[in-house]
Structure 1
Amino acid sequence: MQLLDTLHRWTGGLIGLVLALMGLSGTILLHETSWIALPHSGDALRGDLPTVVAATERLMATPGAQGIIYADERFGLHQLRLGKEAGAYASQSGEIVTRWASQWERPELWIFDFHHHLFAGDSGEWVIGIAGLCGLFFVISGVILWWRTRRTFSFRLWPKRMSRPAIVTHHRDLGIVAAPLLLLSVVTGTMMIFQPFAMAMIAPFGSPAAAARAMKPPKYASGPLAAQPDYAAMLTEARRRFPDAEFRILSLPRKAGDPIMLRMRQQAEWLPNGRSTLWFDAATGKLLGARDALAMPSGAQAFNKAFPIHAAKIGGLPWRLVMTISGLSLTMLGSFAVWTFWFRRPKPAKRVMKKAMLAA
């Protein structure tokens, strides 16, 4: 038990700050559509085909346009992709509301980049994944260590005093209360980074191998991108294929020979951007293939539920508040763990002084 206690403290001391920052940035992102104060951001969703086609044709005619993330029920603006970091928000009629040349001009974008990549691309993603695994150990070991002190449990939202003993007691008792939510947050977050971990988590729901094959993007041979792609025909075919689905993401080819991709979300899908996908020939607009997310293996469908649970994209305001509690708890536990480990460490016991000589 002493070894576990030592490992728990060192885990908190070394990785606690990363976990705290993940909790804080994640909590902010949970409510991003509420604080992005832009004209038309609160507009009701207009998902009828003529409106979407007109907006798509207008926006994709913008120089440098590479794709669109369509408006949804919580956020009434389309997001136009114009380059690596450049983009714009537009109303559902296709009118540009605001533009940016860098993610640093939009707080929701750089906070998202920090939360997912630590501003370091794939390398930062690996750091977050490792922090997630450490967080998993942190939660499990914390529950084990709490059990021996369970008789002294006393829940407080804030430490009684800012002394080390009071903070450690608060950390222990807050941790056991928040443990189920923290476990859910850490597991679902780590699933999105480390595929082997994700496959292990979905194994009870179905074959991981079948899920991996189903989620692997197919390869289609496409002609060169047309000067004026027939978006109306593509969107019409997509609506015919998935009549009750929302248009979610339109992406132009990243390199020559790739098709145009369109993602949709059927009503039964939890994932906000859906996994029902269609691929069109970039030259002719002909449908090359389609994937029905609801027909995917059960393991793949279980994996697709990880992100909406983690980011509170389901359950409305009640679940957002639940995950807010999880995020703030992680922020508090991680920051206090670092504070007590590095700045409030117990002082070494004083040695008992021996008498130098005996009285003659």
Structure 2
Amino acid sequence: MRLLDLLHRWTGGIIGLVLALLGLTGVVLIHKNAWIGVPHAGDPLLHDPGAIATATERLLAQSGKAPQGIIYASDGFGLHQLRFAGGGGAYANQAGAIVTRWISQRQRPELWIFDLHHHLFAGDIGETVIGISALCAIFFIVSGTILWWRTRRTFKPRLLPKRMSRPAILMHHRDLGIITAPLLLLSALTGAMMIFKPVAAIVVAPFSPPAAVARAMAPPKLISGPLAERPDWRRMLAAAQARFPDAEVRILALPRKPGDAITLRMKRAAEWLPNGRTTLWFDAADGRLLAARDALAMPAGAQVYNAAYPLHAAKIGGLAYRLSMTLSGVAMAMLGSFAVWTFWFKRRRKTLPR
């Protein structure tokens, strides 16, 4: 038990600030739609396929350089987002009129906060550090629960420490941690699943063989013609809507290299993932439908994996679940920051004998 306590304290003292940062930025991102502050962001979603096709044609015609794709407006956010290589982009209303542009994600707070939360501004290396931090958080939750059991009789639920002394902060750390442990475990586990494939394989294994999940998630091998000068977006969107009548158009991705198809992601009514995983591939030259994948027909393990992000980012469950995950993020920020402070700066002073 002493060794477990030692590992818990030392690991927390080293990784606590990263977890605090993840908790704080996660809370900000959960409520992004409430503070983004772009005109028309609160517009109601238009479901008319003709209006979506018109906006698509207009956006791709006036965007200047070729974009990588479009993220379409949703129920919670009434703007289309154009994405360009190098981090540039634009927001447009649902009629296809550009509202604001940026040449770097640093110009949009919601984008650089997202990058900080997911990559620590360090790309794949930062993402790996975050994944390791998530695994450490799982260790903290398990070891903290074991260590708390010894002192359970002193349990007192408090949002803040009674005083800013080391013993009071440690008691608050133990008690707040045990209260929020289920939510913290959910946040850490889903975060680790999205970064590390072996973690995801362990979680989905009871539902489907990981190999079957990997096959279901892999894109089909298709050969497409070169991108037409004026693709028939109206025809493609109509074909997609006819194939999945209950689905919303979510993401249009243009070919990145010769031979790639046009990819259209949709969200069926029963899907949790905000951008859906129902996918259609069209020939870039003539707009023919090459392949389609129904997310609801995927193996159970793939659907469990697809639920990781909406659970992690509070994209389901309405206001009640958003508030629950807000509590989880605030708790993670407090636990991580107080752990570092008590470990490195609030050490118990040794008294010398007279």
TM-score w.r.t. length of structure 2:
0.98
1:49 correspondence with 2:57: no
Tell me how far apart the structure 2 counterparts of residues 318 and 154 of structure 1 sit (CA, whole Å): 24
Q: Say if 1:20 and 1:334, in contact at 8 Å, map to a contact too.
A: yes
Tell me how far apart the structure 2 counterparts of residues 206 and 112 of structure 1 sit (CA, whole Å): 31
Q: Deviations over 1:140-167 (max 9, x none)?
A: 0000000000011111111111111110
- Give SS of 1:79's match: strand
Residue 232 of structure 1 is matched in structure 2 by: 234
Residue 12 of structure 2 is matched in structure 1 by: 12
Tell me how far apart the structure 2 counterparts of residues 55 and 315 of structure 1 sit (CA, whole Å): 30
TM-score w.r.t. length of structure 1:
0.96
Tell me how far apart the structure 2 counterparts of residues 151 and 66 of structure 1 sit (CA, whole Å): 58
The amino acid across from 2:314 in the alignment is A
What displacement does 1:226 show?
1.2
What displacement does 1:204 show?
1.8
What displacement does 1:99 show?
0.5
Residue 298 of structure 2 is matched in structure 1 by: 296
Aligned counterparts, 1:166-205, within 5 A? 166-205=168-207
Q: Which runs of 4+ in 1 moved over 3 A?
A: none
What displacement does 1:28 show?
0.3
Tell me how far apart the structure 1 counterparts of residues 293 and 175 of structure 2 sit (CA, whole Å): 47
The amino acid across from 1:310 in the alignment is H
What displacement does 1:346 show?
1.6
Tell me how far apart the structure 1 counterparts of residues 109 and 300 of structure 2 sit (CA, whole Å): 36
Q: How many residues align?
A: 352
What displacement does 1:349 show?
4.7
The amino acid across from 1:260 in the alignment is I
Structure 2 residues without counterparts, runs of 5 or longer: none
1:104 correspondence with 2:110: no
Aligned counterparts, 1:153-168, within 5 A? 153-168=155-170
| Alignment match of 1:66 (pick from 65, 68, 71) | 68
Tell me how far apart the structure 1 counterparts of residues 238 and 86 of structure 2 sit (CA, whole Å): 29
Q: Deviations over 1:16-42 (max 9, x none)?
A: 000000000000000001101111111
Q: CA RMSD in A?
A: 0.9
Structure 1 residues without counterparts, runs of 5 or longer: 354-360
Residue 31 of structure 2 is matched in structure 1 by: 31
* Higher alpha-carbon deviation: 202-211 or 14-23: 202-211
Residue 79 of structure 1 is matched in structure 2 by: 81
Residue 251 of structure 1 is matched in structure 2 by: 253
Tell me how far apart the structure 1 counterparts of residues 228 and 59 of structure 2 sit (CA, whole Å): 16
| Aligned-pair identity (%) | 67
| Alignment match of 1:338 (pick from 334, 337, 340) | 340
Residue 129 of structure 2 is matched in structure 1 by: 127
Tell me how far apart the structure 1 counterparts of residues 351 and 281 of structure 2 sit (CA, whole Å): 69
Residue 209 of structure 2 is matched in structure 1 by: 207
Q: Say if 1:60 and 1:66, in contact at 8 Å, map to a contact too.
A: no
What displacement does 1:172 show?
0.6
Residue 280 of structure 2 is matched in structure 1 by: 278
Tell me how far apart the structure 2 counterparts of residues 267 and 86 of structure 1 sit (CA, whole Å): 31
- Give SS of 2:73's match: coil
Tell me how far apart the structure 2 counterparts of residues 336 and 346 of structure 1 sit (CA, whole Å): 15
What displacement does 1:84 show?
2.1
Residue 224 of structure 2 is matched in structure 1 by: 222
Residue 2 of structure 1 is matched in structure 2 by: 2
